[in-house]
Amino acid sequence: MPREEAWKRYRTVLWTGLGLVLLVTYFSLTHGVMEMTARDVLKTLLRIDPVRRYDLLILEFRLPRIVTAGLVGAALGVAGAAIQGIIRNGLADPGILGINSGAGVGIVTYIVFFQEKIAGTGWLAVMAMPFCGLMGGLGAALLIYYLARQNGRLDPQRLLLTGIAVSSGLGAVILYVTLKMSSGDFQMAAIWLAGSVDKANWRQLAALLPWLGILIPLLIRKAQLLDVFQLEESSVRSLGVAAEKEKAFFLLSAVGLVGACVSVAGGIGFVGLIAPHMARRLAGIAHRRMIPVSGMLGMLLVISADWIARTLFAPAEIAVGIIISLIGAPYFIYLLFTAKA
């Protein structure tokens, strides 16, 4: 495909996707247990004759939830694209590589040992959970990175297999710790493990923004290096690229994104698998175009899944992670059969 045509297609896909995001956001704002009109929503957002119950519904419940779902989806889509680019495997996903489980260990550790001690300390309490999730994901990533190295280099297939093994082990640790929790903490951990944004608020959103605001632009800026990594190792070295250093950068950046997302929304899987695949088909294999589209598709996927989770059996709710898993598991099987073919 000619370069100009590829960029034209990229812009078309991106703007169409953003239009769909706005459309789903509109339905999510106006539909639910309590229905609202578009006029009511606009008047509430623009502060024209504000109504207390609409302020509470839109500004304290629905809007923080939608914005959080969108940012989490975008971050997971970008992280998944980066990880797939590093290890040259389209079946890779932050959850499969153990990053979700590592962040999960950090979160349950926070709930058991630190939550009561720092409760009521304002921003410290808000920032502590994302920090623990980040440290857990970083620790898991460093362990996987160390075990996956062979002859001083990162072996992509070894990284995938090591990630699966470490993820299983850390999953057992999470299960053991949650079984030792009090009933209240266990319920909180169970909701988190399923993946949910129903407790999203503006403070959690503020804790999430620094990670996304720094790491996503950095990954997009260096996206062309992921195209280079699709070549053979000898070809990469001949181009003068510090391959191991750059791979470590991409891996740790993806870990930072996933750790921050897990701390806010729990273990939402498959977004980092589905979004890059769809982005590749829509925008092509060039990572400079594919990564932003993957983030946009991740945003659309999580916002849509959250809307379905909130309205399908209203007033009861389903965890957003369950809805995405119902989509992601068949898609993963489809990719396996496609790969065999």
- From residue 150, how far is each of 62, 159, 184, 210 by CA, in Å? 48, 10, 44, 34
pLDDT at 1 over 60: no
- The fold adopted by the segment(s) 3-340 is ABC transporter involved in vitamin B12 uptake, BtuC (1.10.3470)
Q: Name the pTM for this structure.
A: 0.89
What is the Cα–Cα distance from 237 to 315, expressed in whole angstroms?
A: 57
Compute the average pLDDT of residues 173-185.
82
- 92-130 tens-digit pLDDT: 777 777 778 888 888 888 888 877 776 655 666 667 777
Tokens coding 91? 């079946």
Using left for φ > 0, alpha for ψ between -120 and 50, and beta otherwise, residue 32 falls in left
Q: How many other CB atoms sit within 10 Å of the CB of residue 33? A: 11
- 203-220 tens-digit pLDDT: 878 878 888 999 999 999
Tokens 């632009």 label which residue? 217
Q: At residue 42, what are phi and psi to the nearest 5 degrees? A: -65, -45
pLDDT confidence of residue 314: 75
Q: Nearest 5°: CA angle at 76, between 31 and 21?
A: 35
